[in-house]
Amino acid sequence: MIEETRKAFAAVIKNKIPDINEYDTVPGTTQVPAVIVAPSENFAINDLSMGAARFSYDLFVLVPHTDADDGQHELDGLLDPDNPNGIIGAIKADPELNGVVEDSNWTKISKYGGKFDASNVEHLGAVVTVEVHPLCQ
């Protein structure tokens, strides 16, 4: 389920944002703009009251840091919840991730403007956390 969900996130985002480089695993090198899908630090929550587990994934959204203003404008567009052609817009348009999960909802944007390294190259970015409810078995 984990690998399938990571791949589904990458596919749904790439379908909506063709110019983004999507990675369903943590790459050794990245081409930006990029989104990297990885399980969150607090990945699984077994919600006994609801009778189901929930899983969290972090979507690391990276843009070039060559010009802070341009990078920030690009990052803003990718993160804007009202932008149908952004990261959150892609998830809102297909919360079932092509039928791989029951539903998914973004829960927070964190580390905005953070500096992320990939192969000693600095990028500007943020982390979108998405909660996923797996398909009922």
Query: Comparing C-alpha atoms, which of 107, 92, 135, 137 is closest to residue 4?
Result: 135
CATH architecture label of 2-134? 2-Layer Sandwich (3.30)
Instruction: Kindly report, residue by residue over 14-23, the tens digit of the pLDDT.
Output: 999 999 999 9
- Measure the CA–CA gap between 15 and 48, rounded to whole angstroms: 35
- Measure the CA–CA gap between 47 and 23, rounded to whole angstroms: 29
The domain ranges of the chain are 2-134
Q: What is the pTM of this model?
A: 0.89
How confident is residue 93, by pLDDT bands cut at 50, 70 and 90? very high
